[in-house]
Each structure stands twice: as C-alpha cells, then as structure tokens.
Amino acid sequence: MDIFYTINPRIDIFQNLIFEYLPQSLQNSIEQYWKKNEYIPLKKIKDIIRQLLNCLYFIHSKNIIHRDLKPDNILMT
C-alpha cells in the first residue's frame, strides 16, 4: 500500500513496506490447532505449502528475497 524509508543513528537506511491489515498469521493458526490438541488437516497443509511456494517463486523471479521467512510473518485470511 505504501513504502517509506527510515534512517537510524548509524546512517543505515531501511525500506519499510506497508501492507493491508490481516489479523491472522500462520503462527496463530498453528497455535489454535495446538490449543485444541488437533492436527492441521493434510489438505490445509498442502494448500498453505503450495501457496507459499508460488509466492516464493514469484518474488524470486522479480529478484526479491525475503530474509525473515517464518510462520509469524506469513499472513493469512
């Protein structure tokens, strides 16, 4: 939605990306199943992995990398 830059005291420049708000992350979803003492359905796991691999393929094809790929940074609807 927007991009802005910040400079810290060491003269480093950081690019900040602003996206739409999504309240659910993959980490939240995993924790919800964990609290209910249930497994994530295999179909859901396959769907998440397929979407994630498609996303990685797309950003890598644009020469963009993601340094902090973890469940808490994967937003879901």
The residues that are catalytic are 68
Which pairs from 41-50 meet CB under 8 Å and 24+ separation?
48/74, 48/76
Rounded distance between C-alpha atoms, residue 29 and residue 48, angstroms: 11
Instruction: Indicate the SS3 state at residue 54.
Output: helix
